[in-house]
Amino acid sequence: ILAGRDCLGVMPTGAGKSMCYQIPALMFDGITIVVSPLISLMKDQVNSLIQSGVRAAYLNSSLTAAQYEMAISNAARGMYKIIYVAPERLMTGSFLSLASSVKISMLAVDEAHCVSQWGQDFRPSYMKIPEFLGKLPYRPIVSAFTATATAEVKADIIKMLELRDPFTITTGFDRPNLSFQVMHPKNKDTQLLSIVRSNPEECGIVYCNTRSNVEDVCQMLQEADIKALPYHAGMSMNERKQNQEAFIYDRCRVIVATNAFGMGIDKSDVAYVVHYNMPQNIEGYYQEAGRAGRDGSAAKCILLFSGKDYATNKFLIEKSIESSQLEPETAQIIVENKLRQLNAMYGYCNTADCLRGFILKYFGQPYSGYCGNCSNCTGDFVEKNITIEAQKVLSCIAKTKQRFGAKMIADILLGSKNQNIINNGFDSLSTYGLLKDNTRDEVNKIINYLIVKDYVFRTQDKFPILKLNGSSVKILKGKLKVTMRTKKTDTLNKEKVFTVSKSDEYSEEMYDYIRSVRNQLAEEANVPAYVIFSNNSLKDMCIKKPTSLSQIL
Ligand code: ZN
């Protein structure tokens, strides 16, 4: 950027994206405009800049008309170095006339993936950015940043923002201090409670896929005497702000939220992020899960999966597109793309391979072997030959003429006596009850496994149907052996999962003491505790025990 080149930075949460444009902004002569999609994000960034003595402002719909005019006239008098602006504002008359009358050194686009309709968060207002650049008397340096982008999205950002020969950097996506776990619990509430209770001193985020789930889960936690608060877009601005602050200032331990929560929240001491539902894509998942452990401490990212999550997400995707009023053709492309992303997410939840490896490979970063810090690498697995079971499933699909989904197939194999089975006469099929010695859970797992491994094809219809493919036929003919890597136990091994590595011993007593001093300083300065020192820094002090200012420096 300092050499005057356009730039595209793909850097994970916590890697220091904002610094990459804020520091050049301070070194340049004129003003830097930062395009940012979220009001809460702008406000936080501007507040922290002002706290560091940087003259900055934001322009978005949260300002009154008078405040907006004031900010514009201050900007025209050169009072700010950095101005954050919502993409919708770029093409307004007052902003355009400001932009043409001052020296703009750089336009930085934050959350740049929003410009791509291949991304998980496409925002049409981002398309206005090149149009805006075209209206300026001269073209400033353009820099674009995002935390997550596949190769496809990267190419799209360069094209859509018309970046000129940009310097492109993709920093490693790996966050070694995060441990990844996928669980398939029978009862998500019980599982969640056990996770929260095993981390009594720490705070965490619980993500749910709908507002009503947020309310229910939050209430469940509160009834179990856990200080939890909800956060979702259906709540008033004020309530949201209060709950967010209660979380940041450690007045509540757990925030239960939809994906509306988190962009730009840089609370660094989040010890765990639990996804109560499977999210819609790996991009979103990694961004949300990545809010854990930003201070570098060991932290957990746990996903509680159930088969129902797939159907719910599919429904949510289709509904959101229906209400988006896009051209049918565009809508079709977007739906297909989102379902592809959903399938990858489903693959993550059902793979027996290293979870970290799965994510990194998804983002195009080669990774081989086992990380030793995810539930698949640390779990006890058994390699099981399930060819016979697979044949039973596949022949049941064939016998019912490939017209049904996973649930019906499982019902038949389990010998269910439900009305649907009786009405269709399926209780007289030769495959009826063939897997009745297995639990429903086991049968579901086998079917899921066959889908993930492409041994059977699942259609993308509203009610997905299972169909046989080439591999299915080979299995039925006994020409292909099926082995499944399954966990011996799906219950959480507390010992293994929840002990932070204690390679360096320190006194708990000393830690508690300086922690209380830190908290008091934070209270006096009216800032969150982690702004004074992160827990990790405190632990390090307890190990190194500096006794003079120069030592601590
Ligand atoms: Zn692993």
Give me the DSSP letters along 498-516. Answer: HPPP-SS---HHHHHHHHH
Could you give the 3-state DSSP secondary structure of residue 432? coil
Write down the pLDDT at residue 120: 67
Could you give the maximum distance between any two Cα atoms of the chain, in Å?
84
Tell me the CA–centroid distance for residue 362 and ligand 1, in Å.
Answer: 14
453 C-alpha to center of ligand 1: Å? 19
- Spatial CB neighbours of 266, under 8 Å, sequence gap ≥ 6: 14, 44, 294
Which DSSP symbol is given to 175? -
Contact 269, 535 (CB under 8 A): yes
Sort 380 into a burial class: Cβ within 10 Å, 0-12 / 13-18 / 19+: exposed
Per the CB < 8 A criterion, the answer to whether 443 and 410 are in contact is yes
Q: How far does residue 174's CA lie from ligand 1's centre (Å)?
A: 11
10: tokens are 């793909």
Distance 373 CA to ligand 1 centre (A): 5
Rounded to the nearest angstrom, the distance between the alpha carbon of 383 and the centre of ligand 1 is: 17
Q: What is the arrangement of strands in the sheet containing 31-35, beginning at the earlier edge strand?
A: 56-59, 82-85, 31-35, 104-109, 141-146, 7-10, 167-170
* Ligand 1 centroid, distance to 486 Cα (angstroms): 15
- What is the whole-number distance in angstroms between the Cα of residue 442 and the centre of ligand 1? 23
Q: What distance in Å separates the CA atoms of residue 71 and residue 93, rounded to the nearest whole number?
A: 15
Report CA(352)–ligand 1 centroid distance (Å): 10
Whole-number pLDDT of residue 489? 53
User: In sequence order, which residues have a C-beta less than 8 Å from that of residue 209 and are 6 or more positions away?
Assistant: 258, 276, 277, 278, 279, 280, 309, 312, 313, 316
pLDDT at 108: 97
CA 195 – ligand 1 centroid, Å: 20
Q: Give how far the C-alpha of residue 317 lies from the chain's centroid of Cα atoms, to the nearest Å.
A: 16
CB 157 within 8 A of CB 111: no
Q: State residue 107 phi and psi, 5-degree precision.
A: -115, 115
Ligand 1 centroid – CA 134 distance (Å): 47
In 61-150, where does DSSP find H-type helix?
Answer: 65-76, 93-101, 128-135
What is the 344 CA–ligand 1 centroid distance (Å)?
17
Cα(368) to ligand 1 centroid in Å equals 10
For 16, the 3-state DSSP assignment is coil
pLDDT, position 502: 45
Token readout for 24 is: 């050049």
Q: Distance from the CA of 260 to the center of ligand 1, in angstroms?
A: 29
Question: Mapping DSSP to helix (H, G, I), strand (E, B) and coil, where does residue 295 land?
Answer: coil
Q: Are strands 141-146 and 104-109 parallel, antiparallel or unpaired?
A: parallel
Closest CA to 300 of 373, 231, 350: 373
The alpha carbon of 374 and the centre of ligand 1 are apart by a number of angstroms equal to 4
What spacing in Å lies between the alpha carbon of 353 and ligand 1's midpoint? Answer: 7
The answer to whether 194 and 492 are in contact (CB under 8 A) is yes
* Backbone torsions φ then ψ of 103, nearest 5 degrees: -90, 115
Q: Which residues pair with 458 in a beta bridge?
A: 466
| Centre of ligand 1 from the C-alpha of residue 360, in Å | 11
Rounded to whole angstroms, the Cα distance separating 161 from 121 reads 16
- What one-character DSSP code corresponds to residue 547? -
Q: Which two tokens mark 196? A: 């929260």
Side chain identity, residue 328: P
The Å distance, Cα 521 to ligand 1 centre, comes to: 39
> Identity (one letter) of the amino acid at 460?
Q
CA of 235 to the centre of ligand 1 (A): 38
Task: Give, in order, the Cα–Cα distances in Å from 481 to each of 385, 390, 406, 467.
Answer: 8, 9, 21, 19
**pLDDT tens track of the chain, all 553 residues?**
999 999 999 987 767 888 999 999 999 999 999 999 877 778 878 888 888 889 999 998 888 889 999 999 999 998 999 999 999 999 999 999 999 999 999 999 999 999 987 766 788 889 899 999 999 999 999 999 998 788 888 999 999 999 999 999 988 888 889 999 999 998 999 999 999 999 888 899 999 999 999 999 999 999 999 999 999 989 998 999 899 989 988 889 999 999 888 766 778 889 999 999 999 999 889 989 999 998 888 999 999 999 889 888 988 888 887 877 778 888 888 888 888 899 999 999 988 889 999 999 888 888 877 888 999 888 777 778 899 999 999 999 999 999 999 999 999 999 999 998 999 999 999 999 999 988 888 898 899 889 888 899 988 777 789 999 999 999 999 999 998 877 665 444 433 333 344 456 788 888 889 988 998 888 888 888 887 888 888 888 998 888 888 888 8
User: How far is ligand 1, taken at its centre, from the CA of residue 323, in Å?
Assistant: 39
Q: Do 398 and 468 contact (CB within 8 A), yes or no?
A: yes
Measured in Å, residue 494 CA sits from the centre of ligand 1 at 17
3 state SS for 176-225: CCEEEEEECCCCHHHHHHHHHHCCCCCEEEEECCCHHHHHHHHHHHHHCC
Q: What are phi and psi of 385, to 5 degrees?
A: -80, 115
- Quick one: pLDDT at residue 504? 63
Tokens of 146: 């995002």
Measured CA to CA in angstroms, residue 1 lies from 22, 105, 143, 169, 208 at distances of 11, 10, 8, 12, 39
**Ligand 1 centroid to 376 CA: how many Å?**
6
Helices (H), 460-548: 470-476, 494-498, 508-525, 529-532, 535-544
Instruction: List helix spans (H) across 198-327.
Output: 211-223, 237-248, 282-289, 308-322
- Rounded to the nearest 10 degrees, how much is the dihedral formed by the CA atoms of 9, 11, 16, 20? 0
Dist. CA 356 → ligand 1 center (Å) = 5
User: Interhelix angle for 406-414 vs 387-399, to 10°?
Assistant: 110
Output the CA 355–ligand 1 centroid distance in Å.
5
pLDDT at 43: 82
Ligand 1 centroid from CA 215, angstroms: 33
All residues at 6 or more sequence positions from 504 whose CB lies less than 8 Å from its CB, including other chains: 539, 543
Token readout for 245 is 């602050």
Q: How far is the CA of 485 from the centre of ligand 1 (A)?
A: 14
Residue 378 Cα, ligand 1 centroid: separation in angstroms? 7
Q: How far is the CA of 183 from the centre of ligand 1 (A)?
A: 14
φ, ψ of residue 7 in degrees (nearest 5): -155, 140
Whole-number Å distance, alpha carbon 308 to ligand 1 midpoint, is 25
Tell me the CA–centroid distance for residue 294 and ligand 1, in Å.
Answer: 20
Residues 61, 85 contacting (CB under 8 angstroms) = no
According to the model, what pLDDT value does residue 485 have?
74
pLDDT of amino acid 490 = 47
- Å from CA of 370 to ligand 1 middle: 5
In the 8-state DSSP scheme, what is residue 30? Answer: S
One-letter identity of residue 62: S
For residue 465, the SS3 value is coil
**Ligand 1 centroid, distance to 42 Cα (angstroms):** 35
Question: What local confidence, expressed as pLDDT, does residue 551 receive?
Answer: 85
For residue 543 the two structure tokens come to: 């190990």
Nearest to residue 170, comparing CAs of 51, 280, 9, 33?
Answer: 9
Q: How far is the CA of 175 from the centre of ligand 1 (A)?
A: 12
Ligand 1 (ion): residues with CB under 5 Å are 354, 356, 371, 374, 377
Distance between Cα 142 and ligand 1 center (Å): 38
Ligand 1 centroid to Cα of residue 64, in Å, is 50
Q: Ligand 1 centroid vs 102 CA: distance in angstroms?
A: 52
> What separation in Å is there between the alpha carbon of 272 and the centre of ligand 1?
17
Question: Reduced to 3 states, what is the DSSP secondary structure of residue 250?
Answer: coil
C-alpha dihedral sign at 531, 532, 538, 540: positive
